Amino acid sequence: MPMPAAEIVALIKAGLPDAEVTMTDLAGDNNHWAAHVVSSLFAGKPRVAQHKLVYAAIGERMGGELHALQLTTAVPN
């Protein structure tokens, strides 16, 4: 079952409260998403650690309800 963008954003913001999240539906099916996540919690962390924080916020829904997520992360300017 596809996962709407609003649910993904809510999960990410629950784990990273200051996150700014921009979602793009890559295939028009609510199943293949791109997320751009900006959070101060990423400061000083390598890209892999930043991505792990996002995946931890999404939890076990990744790979199940959420089939694919192209992820980019950044710290605020």
Q: Give me the residue spans of the domains in the chain.
A: 5-74
Q: Are 13 and 19 in contact (CB under 8 A)?
A: yes
What pLDDT sits at residue 73? 98
> Residue 76 in 3-state DSSP?
coil
What pLDDT sits at residue 43? 98
Strand order in the sheet with 32-38: 20-25, 32-38, 68-74
CATH topology of domain 5-74: GMP Synthetase; Chain A, domain 3 (3.30.300)
Going from the first residue of the chain to its last (77 residues), give the mean pLDDT of each consecutive group of 10, the final group possibly shorter: 92 98 92 95 98 96 86 96
pTM score above 0.85: yes
